[in-house]
A = this chain, B = another copy of it.
Amino acid sequence: MDKWVYRFDEVDQAEAALDNDWDQVRGLLGGKGANLGDMSRIGVPVPPGFTITTRACNVYLANDEQFPDGLTDQLDAALAATEATLGKTFGSADSPLLVSCRSGAKFSMPGMMDTVLNIGINDAILPGMVEAFGNERFVYDSYRRLVQMFGSVVMDVDDHAFERVLTEARAAAGVETDSGLDVAALSGVLERFKEIVKSETGQDFPQDPNDQLMMAIEAVFKSWNSDRAFAYRNADGIPHDLGTAVNVQAMVFGNMGEGSGTGVAMSRNATTGEPHLEGDYLLNAQGEDVVAGIRRTDPIAKLGDDMPEVYAEFDAFSRKLEDHYRNMQDMEFTIENGKLWLLQTRDGKRTAQAAVRIAVDMVEEGMISTDQALMRVSPEHVDFFLHPQFNVDSKAAAAAAGRQIALGLNVSPGAAVGMVAFDPDLAQEWAKDGKDVILGRPETKPDDVHGMLAANGIVTSRGGRTSHAALVARQFGKPAVVGAHELDIDVQGKTMTVGDVVVNEGDWLSVDGTTGEVFLGQVETKVPDIDDPWLTKLLGWADERRELDVWANADYPSDAERAREYGARGIGLCRTEHMFFEPERLPVVQRMILADTQEEREELTFSLLPYQRDDFAGLFRAMDGYPVVIRLIDPPLHEFLPSFEELVMEIADLRIALDKTTGSADGDALNAEISAKSEMLERVESLREQNPMLGLRGVRLGILRPELTRMQVRAIFEAACEVTREGIDVHPEIMIPLTSHVNELKRQREILEKEAKDVMAEQGLEVDYKFGTMIEIPRAALTADQIAEYAEFISFGTNDLTQMTYGISRDDAEGSFLIEYLSEGILDDNPFFTIDPDGVGQIMGIALKKAKATRPGIEAGICGEHGGEPRSIALCHELGLNYVSCSPFRVPVARLAAAQAAIVSK
């Protein structure tokens, strides 16, 4: 005969019968039943009980809602065992055993069926219970709850009927909450509940505890086929034939006097990770008293004073559970008359700091491997150490002072402080003036994006986790809280109201995107310590484990120094054009662009050489011993010139001013200015392009203006020679941007080699350099076999590669249709955030394979924002790149992500 019922302490039998396959055990007993069994068998005291299998459910449903043969007998035996364990009897008036009845499928299906608690109470048992608990009100309330839960869940009575009775009772008693109702009132409520059951169902509320239990079990079985369960499974892709198990468990009570109590605790400190119990408890109380905050809780340590043995026992179980689950545990417990029961345990939530420390400590305690530790910490945890967070004390003080005005959805992490603006234009204006701004809106639309970008943080009163505000904020890394319903934002009136508090435009707000809290005023922020010893150790393990090297993008020596400090082992991208934008250089650059003759052009170009040489020398010094990839000038030349619209407007203003001028000297000056600006306008217009991203930039500039390439190459080699003399070990890699055809590379390499040879001959030194190219145009990727004939290294510029492969201009799309695409689910991910594996990833794979066919040892990396994004890093690992290069602040994140990629792909 089939075994339909397993006591929690019989889980080993189930496992043995199922090939020791835990997944099958979860299939048979459900997730909750299997876990209760698991806790039970390692000797943790869980309130006794048993699980009716999913198989029993399936037979019941298939067999015209008849219990399978033998189920009732097995159930009686299991119940008897439960009674024996506790020395209580189900249905007894003297020492009554009460049980709960819960569904438990293989996969969690929240809201599929409510729990029925307190099964076993009836009119006859009531007096005995009052005596046992010494708390008449509690017992009446427990009975009232049973009738209400059983009535609505098992007997299908509309819960509103019960709630209406309670509302009337509260009104009659003149109290606000149910807890204000006294025994007499509750007694009246109980009678009316029973009447409702009778009138709604035609049946009395069942007085036989066995009837209560059997009806509850059947209700759980039937709930498997309810409409909402069906819909849930469809949505989640859960098969419809699994069935649900039923868990029947003894109720234990922490409110049976001073020898009883209840609490929640973490096996380690969830904020700092320190390795000792941390939690709250209350003597003579129910679990909900601890959670609701009605009574002031005591720290768990006080349990050590109140009941030393119980505390010691709990501490030991806590360590046992950690050992078993190899993770920090979040536990609920109840002490009933001196006896400790653990009701639930699960992996505990923790802060980033705690996550890192616990992972490292557990390795050192021999509990987990370094690989497990590396997988236990998320890249976001590491990121936490690099960005401002609210100071915990300052936040607590603000909360204590009543300055927390809202709790919304924590959709984009980080701390932001600023003056609130309710209009995106104003936010942008203030930000331009150097002010810190928080943008507050009821909800956001694409028109608001410029204000969102200008703000330090965003708060909205409407919208969910996939709202426009949430998507944009995450995308741009702006801390944001959305759907803070407490806030009444009046954009016209320029105020935000929360209860009595009126926040005016310009008032300070502090927004915690990590937690969803919004505070009035300025909460202090701090940057956590990157030198945290546990983090340092963890990242050390990551460095040993990872196969991808991690380099950084740095344009200035100070960036390079920071990158090196954060663990970068090379510079993967130095954008040389940044050096052209420096205020003292820009006018020279502009004259160079506009020069009429080749001689003038060359002269002005080479006048920039000393600046570039110094920049490069500084980078080389900072990266002593490591490679430095220098990209030759990339952007369209008109980026260095004034904007067309501004010039038109300025000229119009000048002409109006001229018209008003009477003094001829002023007039002459104005005329001269108009003429200069008009000339500039003409040049700007002639350089203007319809699609500058695909226009005259990158290597195309180097081909049309070879003097630019020559000047930059000379600056690189002169700098390399200079620092070599200082004893620096220098490895420049010269990178050509925007290559689409191998011939571009061939030409540039000729120019480069001649110039390099000249400088090395002049200086009498040899420099160890490489020549290579960005792969950022699809054609370059598709012809990487040809490219590799001239390139010793390639670096994927995945931002431009995404723009061209996807046909999307990032600047235009991110404020426009891309948001719509993400919120409509047309795209799952922003391809500028995570490399699109099907398109861009595929073409990267094609390129790498072709490049290696020509030059097997070719160095290949990725530079650009994707290089610091964990899923993109995993893709780079799979493709077999040599390194990722990202912003210095992302280097620690990338080190961990690279290690995780190596672990996952092993």
Most B C-beta atoms less than 10 A away, residue of A447, A812, A824: A812
**Which of A118-126, A147-155, A194-202, A777-785 lies at the interface?**
A777-785
Interface string of A70-106 (1 = CB under 8 A from B): 0000000000000000000000000000000000000
Known A-B contacts A778-B843, A782-B838; A695 and B747 likewise in contact (beta carbons under 8 Å): no
Q: Does A363 contact B (CB under 8 A)?
A: no
Taking the complex as formed, is A786 at the interface, i.e. its CB lies under 8 A from any CB of chain B? Answer: yes
A400 interface residue per 8 A CB criterion: no
Report the stretch among A158-166, A310-318, A592-600, A815-823 that lies at the interface: A815-823
**In the complex the two chains form, what is the Cα distance from A825 to B746 in whole Å?**
12
Are B743 and A826 closer than 8 Å at their CB atoms?
yes
- Contact of A691 with B839 at beta-carbon distance under 8 Å, contacts A703-B826, A807-B778, A821-B703 already known: no
Tell yes or no: A250 within 8 A of B by CB. Answer: no
Assess A809 versus B652: contact at CB under 8 Å? Given A820-B703, A826-B747: no
With A807-B738, A826-B703 as known contacts, state yes or no: A812 contacts B689, CB within 8 Å: yes
For chain A residues 660-701, which have a beta carbon within 8 Å of chain B?
Answer: 660, 686, 689-696, 700
For A654, the closest partner residue in chain B by CB is B652
Of listed A655, A660, A696, A782, residue having the most chain B CB within 10 A: A782
Q: Which residue of B lies closest to A828 (CB)?
A: B743
Provide the residues of chain B in CB contact with A824, threshold 8 Å.
Answer: 703, 747
With an 8 A cutoff between CB atoms, is A393 at the interface?
no
Determine the distance from Cα of A811 to Cα of B694 in the docked complex, in whole angstroms: 10
Residues of B within 8 A of A660 (CB): 659
List of B residues within 8 angstroms of A653 by Cβ: 652
Q: Say if the beta carbon of A502 comes within 8 Å of chain B.
A: no
Chain B residues within 8 Å of A826, by CB:
703, 741, 743-744, 747
**Which 5 pairs between the two chains have the least Cβ-Cβ distance?**
A652-B652, A779-B839, A777-B807, A691-B809, A694-B809
**A544 to nearest B CB, angstroms?**
36
Does A740 lie at the interface of the complex (its beta carbon under 8 Å from any beta carbon of B)? Answer: yes
Q: How far is the CA of A447 from the CA of B687 in the complex (A)?
A: 11
**A235 within 8 A of partner (CB):** no
Q: Are A804 and B783 in contact (CB under 8 A)?
A: no
Interface membership of chain A positions 538-572, coded 1 if the CB is closer than 8 angstroms to chain B and 0 otherwise: 00000000000000000000000000000000000
Chain B residues in 8 Å Cβ range of A704: 817, 820
A291 within 8 A of B: no
A184 at the binding interface (Cβ < 8 Å): no
A236 contacts partner chain B, Cβ-Cβ < 8 Å: no
In the complex, A86→B36 CA distance in Å?
121
| Copies of the chain in the assembly | 2
Output the nearest chain B residue to A786 by Cβ-Cβ distance.
B838
Closest residue of chain B to A694 (Cβ to Cβ) is B809
Contact B655 A807 (CB under 8 A): no
Determine whether A842 belongs to the interface, using a CB cutoff of 8 Å to chain B: yes
Contact of A645 among B644, B776, B779, B843 (CB under 8 A): B644
Residues of B within 8 A of A703 (CB): 817, 820-821, 824, 826
Q: Is B827's CB under 8 angstroms from A805's CB?
A: no
Q: Which residues of B contact A651 (CB under 8 A)?
A: 652
By CB atoms of chain B within 10 A, which of A694, A740, A806, A817 has the most? A694
Q: Which residues of B contact A700 (CB under 8 A)?
A: 817
- Whether A491 is near chain B, meaning CB under 8 Å from some CB there, is no
In angstroms, Cα B867 to Cα A330, docked, is 68
Report the minimum CB–CB distance from A815 to chain B (whole Å). 10
Bound-state CA distance A10–B887 (Å) is 80
Query: Is A648 an interface position by the 8 A CB rule?
Result: yes
Q: A695, B813: Cβ atoms under 8 Å? A: yes
**In the assembled complex, A215 has its CB within 8 A of some CB on chain B:** no
Q: How far is the CB of A60 from chain B (nearest CB, A)?
A: 40
Q: CB < 8 Å: which of B649, B744, B803 contacts A694?
A: B803
A808 contacts B by Cβ under 8 Å: yes
* CB-CB nearest in chain B for A660: B659
**Contacts of A687-732 to chain B: CB distance below 8 A:** 689-696, 700, 703-704
Which residues of A790-804 have CB atoms within 8 Å of chain B's CB atoms? 800, 803-804
Question: Provided the pairs A690-B809, A807-B738, A812-B689 are in contact, do residues A779 and B836 lie with their beta carbons within 8 angstroms?
Answer: yes
B777 and A806 contact, CB distance less than 8 A:
yes
**Could you list some 11 contacts between A and B, CB below 8 A?**
A652-B655, A691-B692, A694-B807, A704-B817, A740-B806, A743-B825, A777-B807, A778-B806, A778-B839, A783-B842, A804-B807
Complex-state Cα separation, A689 to B645, whole angstroms = 13
Query: Besides A690-B809, A694-B809, A778-B806, 19 other CB < 8 A contacts?
Result: A447-B686, A644-B645, A644-B648, A652-B652, A652-B655, A652-B656, A655-B656, A693-B809, A694-B808, A703-B826, A704-B820, A740-B839, A741-B826, A743-B827, A779-B806, A779-B836, A779-B839, A782-B839, A804-B805
